[in-house]
Structure 1
Amino acid sequence: MMSLNELPEDCVSTILSLSSPWDVCRSTAVCSELRSVAQLDCVWESFLPSDYHEIVSRAGPELLKWDSKKELFFLLCNSLLIDGGNKIFNLDKITGLKSYVLSARDLSIAWADDPIYWAWKHTPQSRFKESAELRTTSWLDIQGYLKLNMLSPNTTYGAYLIFKVSKRAYGLEIMPMEVSIEVGSDVVSHNTVYLRQDEGKKHQMQWLIYYNRTEILASRVNHGSEDSNLKLPGARGDGWMEIELGHFFYGESGDSCRDGKVVKMSMKEIKGHHLMGGLIVEGIEIRPLL
């Protein structure tokens, strides 16, 4: 039987490039014969996104220094600030799939420039310069947009609002919000979420007061939806909370019709008769569902 060191180097490098970053790292850990080949640029370039030159330029090439494509790959796995600090780009270390975080400044937020309704400030534990803190409103509407061809093809993605709730928050637990994902002109995900869980008699009373309106809204939002379960927020490892806005699938790359489309992620509340405040918006994360 032929051993690995008897195979031509280009043959071994081709085999490795058809695997995954995780497989290459794991293989070299147990097989010393693969280590030299596994360092080659031709292997690691296959794991880099096809537009990595553009991504590097959007970060500022002077900020990134590398001596090999393997080193560049792991630099891109370190949540790189791009587009003037308004987005974060990241590669998954195991799969090499892309993900993004759109900052609050990169989102479309109703009345965000009016200091009566929103305040812009730096928030601890945030890599962005500013987060948006809701002072008061009766109409919440947050939207994010991303070109589909910026993502990894043949991948299912989830979109998540990243946020916090201040100690002085009010009104966020009363009504569910509408969340949706649109790819081009097609609505591919539609659901309802709560931004805050409130326990005790206060919540019970609010639920009784708003029960009929909540049922009507939830019924209308979930009509025709494949997933009609009400979503609740969960804690992240970075000190923030997140709530799922929906998910979508990006198919084959190279389809000019599909690639020209934009993914629209939104969360809004039907205009009501109560005020809310205390929501701190970090941004929207679009990451692969692994």
Structure 2
Amino acid sequence: MGIIWSIFSKPKPKPKPHNNNEDMLKHADSPLTLDTTSSPQVDDDVSLKHKTEKNLIEEDEVKEKKNCFMLNARELSITWAESQTNKYWSWFSDLDQTSSDVKTEVAKMERVAWLEVVGNFETEKLTPNSLYEVVFVVKLIDSAKGWDFRVNFKLVLPTGETRERQEILNLLERNRWVDIPAGEFRTSPEHLSGKIEFSMLEVKSGQWKSGLIVKGVAIRPKN
């Protein structure tokens, strides 16, 4: 387990209700309403930002419901992925494993020497006073090449503190989605604003790489 961290930031005058469901529903793909007569928790999965960000609900060991998010590949900044020629990366639809009728786009690396995938997320969307982990969800296909070098995974907290680790992707099992942790942190007892930043990087080897598929980044409670 990595170092547990608490967010310290100036609290807002009027903290948002627990789990910020009203804000999340405003960004949903389809019109949704919040039932104020029941629990303030959003019980169903809510797909946000035109299916690039998905809000889920998970229960911890004591059955407490907590917000969990999946940022799909389109929500991340992937160097060279927007090339019109598809020379470096290509995009295709992948059936969302949590919903049989929802397809999301994933990014497939065709051939690059510079791997850089970066994203960020507002911590105020998360459940207060909870331990979270940030993981990249990726897959290597059979024809993948150039992964004998260490890939750097990094998490930067709102205070500037960092969590950093390395992974040799060539050791991963082929053709299955794998969760690779970037780091973990603990949210504050209240909803406080601040961004975490996370990245997957390999730019030092100069080695041409291929066959990596990026599904997204999960920000989820760690039991």
C-alpha displacement of 1:132: 0.3
> Which position in structure 2 is the counterpart of 1:32?
none
Aligned equivalent of 1:178: 152
TM-score by length of 1: 0.61
Paired with 1:168 and 1:89, the residues of 2 have a C-alpha distance of: 33
CA positional deviation for 1:116: 1.2
Q: Is the 8 A contact 1:234 1:243 kept in 2?
A: no
Please report the RMSD computed on the Cα atoms of aligned residues, expressed in angstroms: 2.5
Query: Which structure dedicates a bigger proportion of its chain to strand?
Result: 2
Aligned residues: 197
Match of 2:92 in 1: 121
Within-5 A mapping of 1:73-222: 73=41, 76-93=42-59, 94-114=63-83, 115-125=86-96, 127-172=102-147, 174-197=148-171
Per-residue deviation, residues 173-224 of structure 1 (Å, max 9, x unmatched): x011111110125133111112231xxxxxxxxxxxxxxxxxxxxxxxxxxx
What is the aligned partner in structure 2 of residue 269 from structure 1?
202
- Contact residue 25 and residue 46 of structure 2 kept, 8 A: no
Q: Which has the higher contact order (CA 8 A, sep 6+)?
A: 2
95 and 113 in structure 1: CA distance in 2 versus 1, 3 angstrom threshold? same
AA aligned opposite 1:84: H
Change (3 A) 1:147 1:272: same
The DSSP-based 3-state class of the residue aligned with 1:122 is strand
Instruction: State the TM-score, normalizing by the size of structure 2.
Output: 0.78
Rg (Cα) greater in structure = 1
Greater per-residue helix proportion:
1
Do the aligned partners of residues 282 and 60 (structure 1) sit closer, same or farther apart at CA in structure 2, a change above 3 Å counting?
Answer: closer
1:23-80: CA deviation from partner (whole Å, max 9, x where unpaired): xxxxxxxxxxxxxxxxxxxxxxxxx83411111222156356869525x84xx34432
Q: Which consecutive unaligned segments of at least 5 residues does structure 1 have?
A: 1-47, 198-232
| Aligned-residue offset at 1:145 | 0.4
